[in-house]
Amino acid sequence: MRVALRSVRRVEPRIAVLASGEGTNLQAVLDDPVVGGWVVLVVSDRAEAKALERARDRGIATAHLEPSEHPDRASYDHALRALLDEAHAGFVALAGFMRMLGPEVVGAFEDRIVNVHPALLPSFPGGHAVSDALAWGAKVTGVTVHLVDGQMDHGPIVAQEAIAVLPDDDWDSLETRIHEVEHRLLPAAVRALAEGRLRIEGRTVRVVEKPTDG
């Protein structure tokens, strides 16, 4: 049975970035000469996240959405959706955001949310991918950028790049090389998404040179 081919709907390139920590992937997006100018909002679940500071330094609107102030995931998801709508965001990039998005946000931004993950999915999903690869004795790991669906680290893959795990690697050395790849793949994937250059057929995503119709 043939899976229907769909194109990402083209909307104004206004991007919200969600981040929980240092924000190095956010910085890579902001430093991109094209994509950086499209970022209109940065949201974090942690008030002390350096990602918020990086955004403020660029004059970009920020928001701290505290999980403890919401009774459940649905309430948090609804509040996040309100922030995204208020910023008129057309796309969302998860750059080290350590919370799963709920169905309200995922549904509202179907095929318009990308996440960067420090492993070659479907291997090593979850929040400890670098240490999991080392503990497993993996010889190869990498970086994945994927579209976000309702499951953790599960959506169709937009881009991947393999990274060799060296015999003397520890967490710091391996993470450093992973970051270098993340900082290249994420801005490129965000740009392709926002420019309407993703064609999706089932779990297969193709990046095309020219924007798709729609």
Structural domain including 48 reads 14-207
Residue 52 has pLDDT above 80, yes or no: yes
Residue 68 has pLDDT above 50, yes or no: yes
Query: Does any domain span residue 37?
Result: yes
Q: Which tokens in the block code for residue 17?
A: 């970035």
Region 33-39 average pLDDT: 97
The alpha carbon torsion through 60, 127, 132, 159 (nearest 10 deg) reads -50
Query: Does any domain span residue 6?
Result: no
Query: Does any domain span residue 179?
Result: yes
Alpha helix (H) residue ranges in the chain:
24-31, 50-57, 73-86, 103-108, 129-136, 171-194
Q: Are 26 and 17 in contact (CB under 8 A)?
A: yes
Q: Does 70 participate in catalysis according to the annotation?
A: no
Query: Does any domain span residue 9?
Result: no
pLDDT for 143-194, tens place per residue?
Answer: 999 999 999 999 999 999 999 999 999 999 999 999 999 999 999 999 999 9
d(CA 56, CA 176) in angstroms, rounded, equals 25
Query: Does any domain span residue 136?
Result: yes
pLDDT for 91-115, tens place per residue?
Answer: 999 999 999 999 999 999 999 999 9
Residue written as token pair 């965001």:
89
Residue 4 has pLDDT above 60, yes or no: no
pLDDT the model gives residue 2: 46
Q: Which of 64, 70, 88, 117 is catalytic?
A: 117
Query: Does any domain span residue 2?
Result: no
Region 34-39 average pLDDT: 97
Residue 1 has pLDDT above 80, yes or no: no
For residue 124, give the CATH number of its domain: 3.40.50.170
Share of the chain above pLDDT 70, in %: 93
Looking at the 3D structure of the chain, how many domains does it have?
1
Query: Does any domain span residue 7?
Result: no
Q: Which pTM was predicted?
A: 0.91
Phi/psi zone of residue 86: left (φ > 0), alpha (ψ -120 to 50 degrees), beta? Answer: alpha
pLDDT bin (cut points 50, 70, 90) of residue 213 is low
Query: Does any domain span residue 203?
Result: yes
d(CA 13, CA 136) in angstroms, rounded, equals 40
d(CA 20, CA 132) in angstroms, rounded, equals 20
| DSSP 8-state assignment for residue 211 | P
Q: Are 64 and 44 in contact (CB under 8 A)?
A: yes
Q: Which tokens in the block code for residue 126?
A: 């979850």
pLDDT the model gives residue 211: 72
